[in-house]
Amino acid sequence: MVSNKTIIITGANSGIGLEAAKIFSNREAHVILAVRNLQKGEEAVKSIRQANKGAKVEVMKLDLSDLESVRAFSTEFISRFSSLDILVNNAGVMAPPYEKTVDGFELQFGSNHLGHFALTGLLLPLLKKTPKSRVVTLSSIAHRGASIYFDNLDGSKGYKSMKFYGQSKLANLLFAKELDQRLKQHGVNTISVACHPGITSTNLFKIGKKDLNILKRLLKFFFQRVEMGVQPTIYAATEETLKGGEYIGPDGCGNRAGNPAIETPAKTVYNEETMDKLWEVSETLTGVVYDFS
């Protein structure tokens, strides 16, 4: 199903991204690990090739907290590749101390949402020309109860790390839905699907340089292993019955663990006014205007 297809996975040097890269490469896809740390990326490639010597995997530099890096990555990728079958917007930062990106955005909103928004828009020309291409964007159950703080996107009027993490994950979900709607409106055959891994043990559970090992030990019976946490991503990227606009998550209690299934967000989540405003703000902040023609 993904044999010989070209797949980009952001943040693929560890966690869900690395596990997805292993699975896709085992299915004979050409996988690009788009990562901020090239050394860690090369280590990830080595680990993949240890289990699969013929894996078609490579590393490319991408720092989602720096729009110049996003543009450089996109330019290089388009110069080297003639198609893009699947873009997996996976990379994320969770609950760091207050920090801004190179471009002055709050780190979580800037990296988790705006970086991926810009990346997807810049790669849209290749996605449009690739038959049955799709964009998969990872959200989180942290989107529940979250809001987009349009009057405080940079956190300068007050910042709470988990509150702003929730904002970034809600933005991911709204972006995925709005993107699919706009693709359909313009007759583009690319689809956009959102997903989330439930509660999975990954290196997201770090705050700054502090590893939450105590929390991980306390909650080990509630976390699912990364081998299960990756399944919604794989499903969102490969399931042929998906039409676009779906949200895939684990089917267990509270959607925290289980097998991948279509999940229905709360009725208030997909607010059209909020989605339109988020899109407009994102284009303004990143300078990336989508060309659906």
First to last CA, the chain: 28
CA dihedral 98, 178, 62, 249 (to 10 degrees): 80
- State the Cα–Cα distance between residues 44 and 57, nearest whole angstrom: 10
- Sign, CA dihedral 218-220-221-222, equals positive
Whether residue 165 lies in the annotated active site: yes
- State the Cα–Cα distance between residues 53 and 213, nearest whole angstrom: 33
> Per-residue b/e over 250-274, b at no fewer than 16 CB within 10 Å?
beeeebbbbebebbebeeebbeeeb
Residue 93: half-sphere exposure toward Cβ, Cα within 13 Å: 28
CB atoms within 10 A of CB 223: 19
- Token pair for residue 250? 């684990």
CB atoms within 10 A of CB 59: 20
Name the catalytic one among 98, 149, 159, 165: 165
- Token pair for residue 156? 């300068």
As annotated, the active-site residues are: 165
